[in-house]
Amino acid sequence: MPILEVAIKLPLHRTFDYLISEIGDLRPGMRVQVSFANRKCTALVLAIKSHSDVPPEKLKTISSVLDKQPVLTPPHIAFLQFVAQYYCHPIGDTFFTALPAVLREGGHPDKTQIPTISLTEKGKTLPTLRSKKQQALLSQLTHGGEIKLSELKALGFAAQTIKSLEEKALIEQTIVHDKDWTEQTLALGDKPTLNEQQATICSAVNAQQGYRTFLVEGVTGSGKTEVYLQCLENVLAQGKQALVLVPEIGLTPQTVNRFKKRFQNMPIDLWHSNLTDNERLHTWRRAEQGSNALVIGTRSAIFLPFKHLGMIIVDEEHDSSFKQQDGLKYHARDLAVYRAHQQQCPLLLGTATPALDTLQKALSNKYQLLSLTKRAQTQQDNQFHLVDMKGQPQQCGLSPMSIHWMQKTLNRGKQVMVFLNRRGFAPTLMCHECGWLNTCQHCSTSATYHRAMNRLVCHHCGEQDFVPKQCPDCGSTQIIPNGVGTEQLEQFLTEQFTDIPLTRIDRDSTRKKGSLESALDEINQGGARILVGTQMLAKGHHFADVSLVIILDVDSGLYSCDFRATEQMAQLITQVAGRAGRAGEAGTVLLQTHFPEHPLLQDLINNGYGDFARYALQEREEALLPPFAHLVIIRAEATNVNFVLRFLSDLVPATPYPGIQLLGPIPAPLERIAGKYRYQLHIHAQQRPVLHDYLAQLARYMSEHELANRVKWSIDVDPMDTY
């Protein structure tokens, strides 16, 4: 009897063999139902073969075949096999992570019909409405065209707003059937003439036959998006599909509408975490059948099975949201390289602040480096100032100089942005008498004081507690906040600048759906003049009137145990600074630091990110850190610290493995979270193949270890951080 090699969604680093009575039309990439450990489960056929290492009498027969057509093509199977091998992740779990939920659970692959929302004839007359939100929705549909319900929601429109407009018969839901777009000539919206640098990039990319990765290093506002659009134009005109990956926070109406306005008659799909299961399947199948021209999506869009992929673009390629932090720990940008190579198409990585890993590949000519050095619309460069905080009096973390600059800027009627990467009121509470600090009971860290809720909240395990009236150690009632969070900063600035409207943007203030969008709206309409926020404020948004940016806590990035901290700090400073001075005049950026003479800071502010990054790369090379060595972190955690230590120690071989350096077990920077002890093993290697051979052996050994089920462990290849 023929034998099927299948992948089953299990945390095991292996495939399974089953028998089938008659092969019929069965092909790899189809789903079958099998019984495993007395449970029925969906499995994916990877290969059909005549021999199994398992004796025939032990093999079971599959229960049924679920598909008439494969749900994955052979190249896509090869891609996912590569993913599993590269990230040393269980093969079944890899396949089933990539598949949309409906297919994962054995559902029917035929496309469900997804209604889209569009303007009615009455809506097209664009009546003036009293509700601002309803007006905004009309304007979205006018500029962005028909759109799926969930996409509207992802863009921040509330269900109620949509319903109200439906009741007024200004918008309607319709089912749009796929039509063949590949034969159509592109209907293009207005576009600017490219400047010389942009034109050079576009012709280099458009002339590319087959695979090549380009790094477009261009300062904020230098016209990268315009370059993407004009490169895409060439791809779509050939009837090929394209994928644009954006960071989680980058999927804004502004971005999406730019694509929709440019490619007016092209089917464009969005892919993000807010889609329903049916919508996900719908877009997956449209990609597979070539029915969509362009998909704009967050990281998991890299798994979409395009029929004719002609280009991949990764915008803000340095952004850490491209790396999945749990389960299958893949990096969408890195997988984009494999896919572009497999599909023999160009890959564009664009950013103002390239990741050091990417830059190194560009500098060593593995990727082609293309630069945009000037802002597209004439603009002066921002001025950086380091504010030496040593011995300075501080008010709520702000130096007198910073407050003075704020006053001056506000007097001129401009907006000010104050950036602090710590939410809550204060990072700890402290006893003024004896120095007691409130630590979380379950974690080796303190719980943050949230004044609005009047609670202590641990940002690591989520535990909430009442604020003690008395010190548990000495009984004193003088419990005071220690340190500054955004909530406190907001309070201080409201008192300091009484008449000036302020908006705070962080995870707490934007918890309600749509609240981020309305806060951003308010900022853009000039309603708020002081903006206080965490890194949420830093990314991707365009604020026209901000002319002063103050960054409060630069030092935490300079002296951190994480080797990527300085890189991320520099990216953040550059990105935040890019928010300033966008409307013609130069902006000012104040960096508060106790280490104004720090060479990396000096380099960054005097010579810019590009120079900083090249210098930082030298440091990495001397320390043999990534990208000059490859790093893998094995993480393990359990309530019982001995289990964790024994498990990790057992992984360290008695004699060293050639080409592999091991460090550990070492405690994680946060040794305890939610009551669990966390330790790590760091694996360094110069050569990828050596590393991957070693990892494959290690993974097998780990899954068979006696403690494998009592310790929660994971393998992180090319980790983004060491936490």
For Zn ion, the binding residues (CB under 5 A) are: 431, 433-434, 436, 440, 442-443, 458, 460-461, 463, 471, 473-474, 476
CB–CB of 676/642 below 8 Å? Answer: no
Residue 360 or 438: which CB sits closer to Zn ion? 438
Q: Which stretch binds ligand ADP (CB under 6 A): 186-194, 478-486, 552-560, 623-631?
A: 186-194
SS3 322: helix
Contacted entry of Zn ion, ligand ADP, none for residue 198, CB cut-off 5 to 8 Å set by kind:
ligand ADP
Residues within window 189-248 making contact with ligand ADP, judged by CB under 6 A: 192-195, 198, 218, 220-226
Q: How far apart are CA 590 and CA 585, in angstroms?
A: 16
Q: Are 226 and 382 in contact (CB under 8 A)?
A: no
Chain centroid to CA 350: 15
> Minimum distance between the CB of residue 446 and Zn ion, rounded to whole angstroms?
9
CB 317 → ligand ADP: shortest distance, Å? Answer: 13
Complex with ligand ADP: residue 173 or 195, whichever CB lies closer: 195
Q: Which is nearer to Zn ion, 433 or 555 (CB)?
A: 433
CA distance 332 to 203: 26
In SS3 terms, 166-177 reads as: HHCCCEEEEECC
Counted residue by residue, the chain has a size of 723
Binding-site size, ligand ADP (CB under 6 A): 15
Residues with Cβ < 8 Å from 41, sequence gap 6 or more?
8, 9, 33, 34, 35
- Nearest approach, Cβ of 346 to Zn ion (angstroms)? 46
442 binds, among Zn ion, ligand ADP, none (CB under 5 to 8 A by kind): Zn ion
Q: Work out how close the CB of 613 gets to ligand ADP at its nearest, in angstroms, rounded to a whole number.
A: 17
Identify what 473 binds: Zn ion, ligand ADP, none; CB under 5 to 8 Å per kind: Zn ion
How far, in Å, CA of 684 to CA of 625, rounded? 8
Structure tokens at 351: 């950013």
- For residue 46, give every residue at least 6 positions away whose Cβ sits within 8 Å of its Cβ, in sequence order, or none: 5, 6, 7, 15, 28, 77, 81
Q: Look at residue 325 and give the partner it binds from Zn ion, ligand ADP, none, a contact being a CB closer than 5 to 8 Å depending on partner kind.
A: none
> CB count, 10 Å around CB of 167?
9
Task: Decide if residue 377 touches ligand ADP (CB under 6 A).
Answer: yes
Whether the Cβ atoms of residue 63 and residue 297 lie closer than 8 Å to each other? no
Q: Which is nearer to Zn ion, 362 or 471 (CB)?
A: 471
DSSP letter at 186 equals P
CB-nearer residue toward Zn ion: 367 or 425: 425
Asked if the bond preceding 247 is cis, omega within 30° of 0, the reply is no
Minimum CB separation of residue 44 from Zn ion in Å reads: 39
Residue with Cβ nearer ligand ADP (344 or 377): 377
Least separation, in Å, of the C-beta of 582 and ligand ADP?
A: 9
Minimum CB separation from Zn ion for residue 468, in Å?
10
The listed partner (Zn ion, ligand ADP, none) that binds 415, CB under 5 to 8 Å by sort, is: none
For ligand ADP, the closer of residues 300 and 379 by Cβ is 379
Q: How would you classify the pairing of strands 676-685 and 660-673?
A: antiparallel
Cβ-based neighbours of 616, under 8 Å, separated by 6 or more = 356, 566, 567, 570, 600
What is the sign, positive or negative, of the torsion defined by CA atoms of 631, 636, 642, 648? negative
- Do 568 and 520 form a contact (C-beta atoms < 8 A)? no
Nearer to ligand ADP, 504 or 539 (CB): 539
Picked from Zn ion, ligand ADP, none, the partner binding residue 436 (CB below 5 to 8 A depending on kind) is Zn ion
The smaller minimum CB distance to Zn ion, of residues 436 and 657, is found at: 436
Residue range at the interface with ligand ADP (CB under 6 A); choices 188-196, 259-267, 281-289, 620-628: 188-196
440 binds, among Zn ion, ligand ADP, none (CB under 5 to 8 A by kind): Zn ion
Of 197 and 415, which has the nearer Cβ to ligand ADP? 197
CB of 572 to ligand ADP, least distance (A): 16
Amino acid at 92: G
Site string for ligand ADP, 333-372 (x = CB under 6 A): ----------------------------------------
Say which entry of ligand ADP, Zn ion, none residue 693 contacts (CB below 5 to 8 A, set by partner kind).
Answer: none
- CB nearer to ligand ADP: give 224 or 460: 224
Q: Which is nearer to ligand ADP, 571 or 592 (by Cβ)?
A: 571
Q: Please answer whether residues 553 and 399 qualify as being in contact, where contact means their C-beta atoms are separated by less than 8 angstroms.
A: no
- Partner touching 283 among Zn ion, ligand ADP, none, CB below 5 to 8 Å by kind: none
Residue 505 contacts residue 531 (beta carbons within 8 Å)? yes
- Cα–Cα distance for residue pair 280/276, rounded to 1 Å: 6
What is the largest distance, in Å, between two alpha-carbon atoms of the chain?
85
Token pair listed for 209: 């036959």
- Rounded CA gap, 380 and 176, in Å? 47
Q: Which tokens is 403 given?
A: 């407050």
Taking the complex as a whole, the smallest distance from the CB of residue 486 to Zn ion amounts, in Å, to 20
CA–CA dist 158, 408 (Å, integer): 39
Residues that bind ligand ADP (CB under 6 A): 192-195, 198, 218, 220-226, 376-377
